[in-house]
Amino acid sequence: MDSLTLARMQTPKNLHALDVKAFAKAQMHLEGDTPVAEFERLVADCSGEVTGQVSWSAQGAIDPEQRGKDDAWLHLEAKATVPLTCQRCLHPVPVELLIEQDFRFVADEVTALAEDDESEEDLLVLEDSFDLMALIEDELLMNLPLVPMHPACLSEHVPTSKEEEAILAEVKPNPFAVLASLKTRKD
Ligand SMILES: [Zn+2]
């Protein structure tokens, strides 16, 4: 799609309550950078200090060529880098999330269920007031890796003093040998 030919309307003030039908009819294009920190559910899955932005864009369309109906469509793109916990070394690992997804709005839940299997796009039920930011957050959450990990961890997991105590407690008969082995391993 040639974005230059698309009408650019004034940005709606409330991205949490969008009139999707009007948005699609006007082939509106919205984009913005929103601090990651504003996405509370996403922040809950992050570790350490959460900085940076979610760069997103949303393009509305009515595409009668698809299915011969004038359903409202939304093309969503979003990009963000979030700090997660590496499941191997337990240090923070920055993970890039990339969203590119088409949505089609249908009249009701029944239609959505009926047409879901045969549709490549995701189906959403049309509401008078649509929360675009919540959809962006949903998509980011769905794209979080199940097991975040560095491609190559910089350091082996260094045992904390508590873990060292536990190791020592297990092999009480000869703690000095364990200390020696811990030392060699760190070297
Ligand atoms: Zn790691």
Per-residue pLDDT reduced to its tens digit, 130-167: 999 999 999 999 999 999 999 999 876 555 666 666 65
Alpha-carbon gap, residue 181 to 171, rounded angstroms: 12
Mean pLDDT, the chain, rounded, equals: 83
Counted residue by residue, the chain has a size of 187
Higher-confidence residue of 11 and 17: namely: 17
Task: Give all strands of the β-sheet with 72-85 in edge-to-edge order.
Answer: 29-35, 53-62, 72-85, 92-106, 122-125
pLDDT at residue 2 greater than cutoff 50: no
This prediction's pTM: 0.74
Distance from residue 48's CA to the centre of ligand 1 (Å): 14
Provide the 10 A C-beta neighbour count for residue 84.
19
pLDDT band at 69 (very low <50, low <70, confident <90, very high): confident
Spans of all domains in the chain: 3-154, 157-187
Distance from residue 82's CA to the centre of ligand 1 (Å): 15
What's the token pair of residue 94? Answer: 């920055």
Distance from residue 149's CA to the centre of ligand 1 (Å): 5
pLDDT at residue 8 greater than cutoff 80: no
Q: What percent of the chain has pLDDT over 90?
A: 61
Distance from residue 159's CA to the centre of ligand 1 (Å): 14
pLDDT at residue 84 greater than cutoff 90: yes
Alpha-carbon gap, residue 76 to 134, rounded angstroms: 12
Distance from residue 147's CA to the centre of ligand 1 (Å): 11
Look at 3-7, 46-50, 67-71, 104-108 and tell me which has the smallest mean pLDDT. 3-7
Instruction: Match 């999330």 to its residue by tokens.
Output: 97
Shortest CA distance to 91 belongs to which of 38, 156, 28? Answer: 156
Per-residue pLDDT reduced to its tens digit, 88-126: 999 999 999 999 999 999 999 998 999 888 888 999 999
8 A C-beta contact, residue 56 and residue 75: no
